[in-house]
Amino acid sequence: MKAIVSSLLSRPDEIMLEIGASGELAVARLRAVIAGILLLLPLTNMLGGGSIDENLIGLAGAVIVNVISQVWLALARRRRHFRWLPFVTTVFDVSLTTLVLVLLASYHLPAALNSLIVWCGYLLAILLTALRSDGRVTLLAGAMALAQYGLLILAVFSIAQSPEELISTDYGTVTSASQWQRLILLAIATLITTMVVYRMQQLVQMSGTDGLTGLPNRTWLIHRMPRLFEAADIDSSSLTVALINLDHFRRLNDEMGHGGADRALQDLVGLLNGLVDSGEWLARVRGDEFVLILRKPIGTAWERVDALRRIVADHSFEPDRSSEPIRMYFSAGLACYPNDGRSLSALLRRADRRLQVAKRSGRNRVVLREE
Ligand SMILES: Nc1nc2c(ncn2[C@@H]2O[C@H](COP(=O)(O)OP(=O)(O)OP(=O)(O)O)[C@@H](O)[C@H]2O)c(=O)[nH]1
């Protein structure tokens, strides 16, 4: 339970934020469509015989909501994501619902508390936070909806001079029991949405993690790289991709069996993981192949990867107590962003060519150019 709460309250990792940003765009599009439909309401009201004043106020409100929705949509479309956007738009969605309920109260008190369709705006605002994949946004939506609607209930009950004012032929009788039910429903919707977000975070984490070593996998790398490229572009720095392949791993499999070779692989990853610094990301992309991303130009990255290679070569691995310690070696090819390519696949192709040079020249070495 503690783990669930702390995961929901902490900032999601970069991949979840990326998924959340596309969810924010989906919500922004939906909001823009709903806002467009709102423009039709004053029209239908007019056809139904509503007063001119009422329709003008309705039209002005719908236009304002449309303008703001278009602003949120434009911001959600931007390549550079604003981390604050889901929080602000969620507060907007909840507060807009409250605003409409307040307007209803000024026209007819029971309408504010017994209108089902407008109150559903809170439920929608809470449920749509599931697409933002951020537990903090969902909890904010739930807390805001409960606080705002709770205050509205208190205000309406204190404004009503007599119980008759809370009885309506169109909206029925406002009772405290039905209002408690609505508050409880909002809390339940928040809880369910929070669990959906938590499950989604877990599934994304699972799909981006290699089962044997616990390292990020290729899927993780594919989703993470665009942000790293963007960060490198912003501060005009370089990124180096090192493609690391174990030497003669097949032989290890033959000698120790698959289980022993698996344990050796886990030992090696444990060693490398302990050595990886901030500004470096290690992922397992294939059987005995890893990618190390370094926020360094290629020359400095070569020195770093070569130092890692020497540490690995000097280390003895003990897959189990009964077997002899073994040595493992790796070869690596490097490619640099942006000089060697501007996409992950281009960089990996380049790094692979250099890795093949390392293999052909005798293995246990790091290569940064083809010849
Ligand atoms: N134990 C184990 N073996 C694996 C795993 N994934 C791939 N392999 C084995 O790793 C070996 C990879 O072989 P290669 O990379 O083709 O060749 P190599 O023997 O490492 O030789 P070079 O790369 O040329 O130095 C194959 O025998 C695969 O079966 C895994 O998860 N566990």
Using CA positions, which residue lies closest to atom 25 of ligand 1?
247
Which residue is it, tokens 């439909």?
37
Regions of the chain short of the pLDDT cut 50: none
Chain CA centroid to CA 334, Å: 30
62-117 confidence digits (pLDDT tens)? 899 999 999 999 999 987 778 899 999 999 999 999 998 998 888 888 888 988 88
Mutate to test the pocket of ligand 1, among 247, 249, 258, 357 (most ligand atoms within 8 A of CB): 249
Determine the distance separating the centroid of ligand 1 and the alpha carbon of 289, expressed in angstroms.
8
Paired tokens of 146: 């409960």
Atom of ligand 1 nearest to the CA of 259: 1
- pLDDT for 38 equals 84
Closest among 321, 229, 213 to 272, alpha carbons compared: 213
What is the residue-wise DSSP string for 241-296?
Answer: EEEEEETTHHHHHHHHHHHHHHHHHHHHHHHHHHH--TTEEEEEEETTEEEEEESS
- pTM more than 0.80: no
Rounded to whole angstroms, the Cα distance separating 324 from 310 reads 21
> Using CA atoms in the order 211, 217, 219, 220, what is the torsion angle rounded to 10 degrees?
110
Give how far Cα 149 sits from Cα of 102, 137, 174, 229, 371, Å: 10, 18, 14, 44, 70
- pLDDT for 287 equals 92
**Termini Cα distance of the chain:** 56
Mutate to test the pocket of ligand 1, among 263, 288, 290 (most ligand atoms within 8 A of CB): 288
Determine the distance separating the centroid of ligand 1 and the alpha carbon of 341, expressed in angstroms.
27
Paired tokens of 71: 């602003």
- pLDDT for 50 equals 65
User: Residue 297: helix, strand or coil by DSSP?
Assistant: coil
Rounded to whole angstroms, the Cα distance separating 367 from 371 reads 9
Q: Which residues pair with 294 in a beta bridge?
A: 240, 280
Fold for the domain defined by 218-367: Alpha-Beta Plaits (3.30.70)
Determine the distance separating the centroid of ligand 1 and the alpha carbon of 310, expressed in angstroms.
21
Atom of ligand 1 nearest to the CA of 251: 19
Determine the distance separating the centroid of ligand 1 and the alpha carbon of 244, expressed in angstroms.
12
Q: Hey, where are the domains in the chain?
A: 2-207, 218-367
Mutate to test the pocket of ligand 1, among 212, 217, 218, 253 (most ligand atoms within 8 A of CB): 253
Name every protein residue with a CB atom under 6 angstroms from any ligand 1 atom: 212, 245-251, 253, 258, 261-262, 265, 287-288, 359, 363
- pLDDT for 68 equals 94
Angle at 117 (CA atoms; ends 115, 123), nearest 5 degrees: 110
